[in-house]
């Protein structure tokens, strides 16, 4: 499983998360990012082309060497400085209040301790800074949710711990963020994998 997780899975995720349907979501969630941006779960750099001109630097947290190597093509085409500063969103090597914005797309579903990661995001985000994210999670339809619970053990095994039933909005609210913008709906694809939440939340300080 180690070879699969480290050498094969990043390529599969790059393809699955780089579809035309998801590009629209990525453009929307990146809108409004400013200044120095922390991105946890940087992956293969699929958000880079959507970063607005107000972004001055990206500090990337990404555990996969293969994913970050794939990201090189996007980083090389970007005029924004992008530096990989860590491997673990649960322990971010940055000072308090050091970032203006933060970004996360389809990573809170996989991080082993999302509460710890959200606490770290809030710690390094300045008061009034915004955290932009897209996640898939537990669907509101009981029939779909039942399938999500059934599939989740296999999903976690094949997708490096990815959960189908986490609920991102209660998670960020519990972490102390204030929801400013929120959109929840099904995207393209099978419903157990495609109930998406796109949100912008603020660190009240």
Sheet holding 178-186, edge to edge: 82-86, 55-61, 35-40, 99-105, 125-136, 195-202, 178-186
pLDDT value at residue 4: 86
Domain count, the chain: 1
pLDDT value at residue 174: 98
pLDDT value at residue 1: 54
Q: What CA–CA distance (Å, rounded) separates 93 from 91?
A: 6
pLDDT value at residue 25: 94
pLDDT value at residue 2: 84
Q: Which residue has the tokens 């970007």?
A: 78
Phi, psi dihedrals of residue 146, rounded to the nearest 5°:
-60, -40
pLDDT value at residue 3: 84
> What's the pTM value of the predicted model, to 2 decimals?
0.95
Query: What's the domain range around 182?
Result: 2-202
Q: What CA–CA distance (Å, rounded) separates 56 from 65?
A: 24
CATH number for position 101: 3.40.50.150
Q: Which residues of the chain have pLDDT under 70?
A: 1
What is the dihedral angle through the alpha carbons of 158, 159, 161, 167, rounded to the nearest 10 degrees? Answer: -120
pLDDT value at residue 123: 98
Model confidence pLDDT, tens digit, residues 152-176: 999 999 998 999 999 999 999 999 9
């Amino acid at each position: 499983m180690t070879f699969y997780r480290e050498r094969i899975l990043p390529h599969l995720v790059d393809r699955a998360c780089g579809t035309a349907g998801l590009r629209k979501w990525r453009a929307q969630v990146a809108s409004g990012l400013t200044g120095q941006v922390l991105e946890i779960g940087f992956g293969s750099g699929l958000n880079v082309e959507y970063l607005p001109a107000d972004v001055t630097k990206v500090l990337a947290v990404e555990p996969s060497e293969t994913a970050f190597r794939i990201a090189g093509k996007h980083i090389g085409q970007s005029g924004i400085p992008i530096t990989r500063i860590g491997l673990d969103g649960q322990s971010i090597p940055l000072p308090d209040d050091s970032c203006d914005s933060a970004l996360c797309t389809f990573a809170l579903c996989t991080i082993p301790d999302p509460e710890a990661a959200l606490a770290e995001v809030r710690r390094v985000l300045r008061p009034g800074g915004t955290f932009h994210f897209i996640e898939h999670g537990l669907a509101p339809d009981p029939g779909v949710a039942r399938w999500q619970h059934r599939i989740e053990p296999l999903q976690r095994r094949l997708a490096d711990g990815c959960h189908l039933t986490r609920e991102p909005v209660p998670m960020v609210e519990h972490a102390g963020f204030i929801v400013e913008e929120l959109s929840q709906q099904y995207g393209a694809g099978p419903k157990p994998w495609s109930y998406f939440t796109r949100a912008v939340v603020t660190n009240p300080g």
